[in-house]
Structure 1
Amino acid sequence: MTTFLRHSLWAVACFIAVCMTSVAHAQVIKVKQAELEKVEGAWLLNANFGIELPPGLENALKKGVTLHFVVQFELTRNRWYWFDEKTANVQRQVRLSHQPLINQYRITAGGLAFNANSLVEALRIAGTIGGWSVIEAAAIDAEKQYEAALRMTLDLGKLPKPFQVDALNSRDWSLSGEWLRFPFNASMTTVMGRKL
């Protein structure tokens, strides 16, 4: 084996190790509880997310950077003969900001605004979704099985440009959300995802 080939293999192995380490240390927004409830002609989503900010994001927030989160909900139906059918695909924006002069946090979501006196309270409010209409009852078949999927992520594209560079280069800025997937049947009146 030539020296060049040996060094190339070593470089590739180091790159893979670094990538795996950064993925392993990525902060995760976890779905703690999710529930779909049938109300009149729609299904409403109630959910709670556990959000933990890494130090870099917490410092940026306290210095006036607004954090934009995206809550995504999908409803799909498996088809053996073709791609999965996407019955519902909706998103909701949640904004979290800090007002240093009065040392208060502001959360806006779904046209509503809330204030919080501490970061812990602000993250709890930002991670709470209640009564969000995600599925029209007329769009689904009560006799078919579906899969519901839900997650919350930090929208890095809405950070100021210098912070976007930091987000790409530092795990201290990494904040990803895992998908929670659970079976859905429209004949039920309530569907539970996970409760921790």
Structure 2
Amino acid sequence: MFCLFLGWAAWAPSAVAGQPVAPEVGELRLDRAEDGLYLSTTLDLILPELAEDALYKGIPMFFVAEAQVLRDRWYWSDRQVAEATRYLRLSYQPLTRRWRLNISPVPFANSGLGVVLGQNFDDYSDALSAIQRISRWKIADSDVIEADAVHTVNFRFRLDMSQLPRPFQIGVAGRSGWNLLVSRSQRLAAEPAK
């Protein structure tokens, strides 16, 4: 019996270590400022293996970060007062062996990138680390956040399959190897009366 226990104890950590870590949202911080409400967070995620393989073959991956601000109401369903969306495009250039991350407030179009923030990275882990950090993202203007009301912020981050090339959209439908979605909700308390 003791040998059986030792065998299980030796096997169990390796079985747990071999399983992929479930993606999650780290601490979600909401900061009120004079000009609005800001969101900061760190995502704990690993790209699905199929998505990572496609990236190394030069196919860009698209991500969407969404934040929704709801004002709590006791007499009816909560009212949406603000919504913010951020689009991210991660691509790998096999010839230069460099990674490029583009961030935009609007979806990427085939006609060009439009107004975006672009960053280059030498290493995949650096590019993924930049995706995982969201710092001081303005999600609402100050005029829609009532100081004496309680608000709820719903945050979602996902892999956007709709912007992949058409053959990939058809081939990945319903395949679990492409799933990446993390979400979290947090309440924003009313400000104390002054």
Query: If the length of structure 1 is used for normalisation, what is the TM-score?
Result: 0.75
Match of 2:122 in 1: 117
Q: How far has the Cα of 1:26 moved from its partner?
A: 10
Structure 1 residues 155-164 or 111-120, which shifts more? 111-120
4+ aligned runs moved over 3 Å, structure 1: 25-29
Question: Distance in 1 between the 2:64 and 2:22 partners?
Answer: 14
The alpha-carbon deviation at position 123 of structure 1 amounts to: 0.9
- CA deviations over 1:73-118 (Å, ceiling 9, x no partner): 0111232332320011111101111011111111111432111222
Aligned counterparts of 1:31 and 1:41: Cα–Cα separation in 2: 25
Is 1:182 matched with 2:181?
no
Larger strand share, 1 or 2:
1
Show the 5 A alignment for 1:23-172: 29-110=23-104, 111-172=116-177
- Give the whole-Å Cα distance in 2 for the aligned partners of 1:169 and 1:146: 35
Residues 180/131 of structure 1: CA separation in 2 closer, same or farther (3 Å cut): same
One-letter code aligned to 2:185: R
- Structure 2 regions of 5+ residues with no counterpart? 1-18, 105-115
Identity of aligned residues (%): 29
Query: 1:176 Cα deviation (Å)?
Result: 2.1
The Cα shift of 1:185 comes to 2.4
Q: Work out whether residues 72 and 149 of structure 2, in 8 Å CA contact, stay in contact via their aligned partners in 1.
A: no
SS of the counterpart of 1:44? strand
Aligned residues: 163
Alpha-carbon distance between aligned partners in 1 of 2:123 and 2:138, rounded to the nearest angstrom: 29
| DSSP 3-state at the match of 1:132 | strand
Do 1:73 and 1:148's aligned partners in 2 also have CA atoms closer than 8 Å?
Answer: yes
**Structure 1: any 5+ residue segments left out of the alignment?**
1-24, 189-196
- Larger CA deviation: 77-86 vs 141-150: 77-86
- Structure 2 equivalent of residue 15 of structure 1: none
Q: C-alpha displacement at 1:127, in angstroms? A: 1.8
